[in-house]
Structure 1
């Protein structure tokens, strides 16, 4: 792939990251919970007062460190290349949280609508990430494959444990978290054909 095509693909990947961040922010600012994938950073954010983006960065650094320990591969390139992507994604989350914080989501129907729309945007962003096949794409495929439910449940269980341990109650996890968990994978599949067509942007 020549430089022009590669640049187009990476720019598109950046846009897909922002779509994911915007979807996460919309679900979270609906105040009915957060997405399963951000449940641990969100709980830590509520406990610490740090931003969701900052905690997303810190939690992902821990996850990458754990990956290296489990795989016993040391500080290899495939782990290092994740860090710039996670950093950009974390910044995008904070930007999206600021953009969606003041949306007039008063009333349960509007809040629930925001959860559904946010899940759809997140699913579209993930589908676009997959076809880009860069940086963290292999992790995205894992998250939307057959182990998605287990992957999401693991995050939620850890988030619940942290909430009970440090606050004595469950923080930041509500029906919106469950609905997002059920919807995102379906929206990824529905967005698949559109994402495949988008590859023409850098294939031509």
Structure 2
């Protein structure tokens, strides 16, 4: 029971860190991660907060999983809804806390961006170690990969590209530009997973042993 409580705590802390990674990427104005790009674009169009749009977006992804997996969808995966709500709240909170941050020079913006990529990579590691439930985007990619026998990495790449393409289209239609699809989007796509993987390979066993999970 103690081990489960520790894993839940780590998972929630991972979501908290992830939210600040998203917030710093937005504040850098150099581009957000592929998954965040769509909620950010829709937020600018509707005026709703990024956190609320993220909650709705993740809910749609859970529904998509249910449609794809049907009887193979596990009840445990409904926890994604609860955790997406927590993540949405954390994201809005992080954006509120960082509202006064408005870096002007490119170097400072780049520091913000790289810090955000590091934080998101660290958060990915913590979510993987906690092993409570997959984040909704990864869970949908996994469902598609398993259902149609497609390599997960390929599904993830196409999912990320789809998010970026839809986000860019929405921004072009309403604002005449591609919004926060910039170099940071590419950097995030290339390195967030790699950083998370590095931590996972290097420190998973140490953390599991230290926390007794």
Check if 1:146 corresponds to 2:144.
no
Unaligned runs of 5+ in 1: none
> What CA distance in whole angstroms lies between the structure 2 residues aligned with 1:107 and 1:195?
37
CA RMSD of the aligned region, Å?
2.4
Which moves more between the two structures, 112-121 or 94-103? 94-103
Check if 1:190 corresponds to 2:188.
no
Paired residue for 2:37? 39
Quote how far apart the aligned CAs of 1:138 are.
8.6
Tell me the alpha carbon deviations over residues 145-190 of structure 1, each in whole angstroms, 9 at most, x when there is no partner.
Answer: 6334333212111212322344443222222211211221221122
Tell me the alpha carbon deviations over residues 127-160 of structure 1, each in whole angstroms, 9 at most, x when there is no partner.
Answer: 11001110226964868x6334333212111212
> What CA distance in whole angstroms lies between the structure 1 residues aligned with 2:46 and 2:105?
28
Which moves more between the two structures, 22-31 or 169-178? 169-178
Unaligned runs of 5+ in 2: 143-151
Quote how far apart the aligned CAs of 1:76 are.
5.4
> What CA distance in whole angstroms lies between the structure 2 residues aligned with 1:62 and 1:71?
14
> What CA distance in whole angstroms lies between the structure 2 residues aligned with 1:56 and 1:107?
29
Contact 2:18–2:120 (CA<8 Å) still a contact in 1?
yes
* CA 1:48–1:138: 2 relative to 1, 3 Å: closer
* CA 1:88–1:73: 2 relative to 1, 3 Å: same
Which moves more between the two structures, 23-32 or 190-199? 190-199
TM superposition score normalised by structure 1: 0.87
> What CA distance in whole angstroms lies between the structure 1 residues aligned with 2:194 and 2:72?
36
Alignment of 1:24-173 (within 5 A): 24-73=22-71, 77-103=75-101, 105-136=103-134, 140=138, 146-147=153-154, 148-173=156-181
> What CA distance in whole angstroms lies between the structure 2 residues aligned with 1:59 and 1:189?
25
Matched position secondary structure for 1:89: helix
Contact 2:31–2:183 (CA<8 Å) still a contact in 1?
yes
Matched position secondary structure for 2:42: helix
Quote how far apart the aligned CAs of 1:194 are.
2.6
Contact 2:129–2:204 (CA<8 Å) still a contact in 1?
yes
